[in-house]
Amino acid sequence: AQTVTQSQPEMSVQEAETVTLSCTYDTSESDYYLFWYKQPPSRQMILVIRQEAYKQQNATENRFSVNFQKAAKSFSLKISDSQLGDAAMYFCAYRSANYGGSQGNLIFGKGTKLSVKP
Amino acid sequence: NAGVTQTPKFQVLKTGQSMTLQCAQDMNHNSMYWYRQDPGMGLRLIYYSASEGTTDKGEVPNGYNVSRLNKREFSLRLESAAPSQTSVYFCASSMGRAKRNTEAFFGQGTRLTVV
């Protein structure tokens, strides 16, 4: 079974600085997707960024980028120029590309609470 | 665009009471899911429906039942609520096996307290 581990329960960053959130995962599959979701106090789950395992290039979305190390099974999220609105819980998630069985199910890490200091 | 709509947003139940959480999506998605979120535990899958007419157990199905009423709607029922079911519940949907590179879209969650 696949697992996702976020080893940092809480992180803090100064406004305008850069912060990196860590995520590792365990799988025997070669084809899968990885995601970072943001959950602000409103509870809404918001997709921040996705990575396809067969793509070597790291995904980037504006101030958000990932460092995807497939061999090391590592998927960290870097937030540049942090803003007060980035304060939230961040969840790393894994999804198999295997279309049999539980297709589409997301497996989540336990989350990292990010605080942004003005 | 409504996306995924869950009702209710908040609910307080007494131990032993029953209730149904409703979920509907308007994105023509094939797959729907119910997750629960507990402090320090992330989101855990309760049940899912890969396509209309099918449902399967997830990681934590005990104490719950589901119904995929049609392609749009997927409900979660607690037959006899217990304090251990106090949690935030999320419904989600995705295209499922029909497409690659598809994310899950989430409802706004239901905060359920069982006293």
Percent of all residues in chain A with a pLDDT value above 70, rounded to a whole number? 95
Nearest 10 degrees: Cα torsion B60, A35, A39, A24: 70
Give CA separation, A55 vs A52, A88, B102, in Å. Answer: 6, 28, 15
Q: Identify all chain B residues contacting A47, using CB atoms and an 8 Å cutoff.
A: 103
Q: Identify all chain B residues contacting A111, using CB atoms and an 8 Å cutoff.
A: 40, 42
Q: Are A50 and B103 within 8 A, CB to CB?
A: yes
Q: Give bridge partners of residue B21 from the DSSP assignment.
A: B76
Q: Are B50 and A102 within 8 A, CB to CB?
A: yes
Among the partner residues A35, A43, A103, nearest to B97 by beta-carbon distance: A103
Q: What is the pLDDT of residues A17-66, one digit of tens each?
A: 999 999 999 999 888 999 999 999 999 999 999 999 988 899 999 999 99
Q: How many CA atoms lie within 13 A of A49 on its CB side?
A: 19
Among the partner residues A50, A102, A106, nearest to B56 by beta-carbon distance: A102
Give CA separation, A100 vs A38, A105, B66, in Å. Answer: 28, 11, 21
Q: Identify all chain A residues contacting B48, using CB atoms and an 8 Å cutoff.
A: 102, 104-105
Rounded CA separation A40/A105 (Å): 22
State the pLDDT at residue A96. 86
Among the partner residues A9, A102, A108, nearest to B43 by beta-carbon distance: A108
What confidence category does residue B98 fall into, taking pLDDT thresholds of 50, 70 and 90?
A: low
pLDDT over 80 at B100, yes or no: no
State the pLDDT at residue A2. 87
Q: How many CA atoms lie within 13 A of B19 on its CB side?
A: 21
Mean pLDDT over residues B83-96, rounded?
Answer: 93
Question: Nearest-CA residue of chain B relative to A44?
Answer: B108
Name the DSSP letter for residue A104: T
